[in-house]
């Protein structure tokens, strides 16, 4: 796995091109701090729908970012799931 330096650089092969800005979207992640969830706004970059680049935001080294949710249920898990087309 390479460093993030290449992803944040000049906009791909050929360097920056006039009139072609890299699209940046905003998102929200949740950080666990003092036993509570706190929303943190971030700017996101490229994604492959599994990994997403965080370009900027108020995240710090050591922050505990929530990546899922534990639910308590008496029901058995459903065998029916989403299908990817």
pLDDT digits (tens, 9 = 90+) for 31-80: 999 999 999 999 999 999 899 999 999 999 999 999 887 777 666 666 66
Question: Alpha-carbon torsion 11, 13, 17, 23, what sign?
Answer: negative
Query: Can you read off the two tokens belonging to residue 2?
Result: 């390479």
Identify which has the larger pLDDT, 11 or 54.
Answer: 54
Length of the chain equals 85
């Amino acid at each position: 796995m390479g460093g993030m330096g290449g992803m944040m650089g000049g906009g791909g092969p050929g360097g920056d091109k006039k009139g072609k800005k890299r699209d940046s979207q905003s998102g929200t992640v949740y950080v666990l701090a003092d036993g509570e969830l706190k929303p943190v706004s971030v700017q996101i970059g490229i994604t492959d729908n599994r990994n997403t680049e965080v370009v900027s935001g108020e995240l710090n080294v050591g922050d505990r970012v929530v990546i899922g949710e534990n639910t308590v249920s008496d029901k058995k898990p459903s065998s029916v799931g989403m299908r990817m087309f």
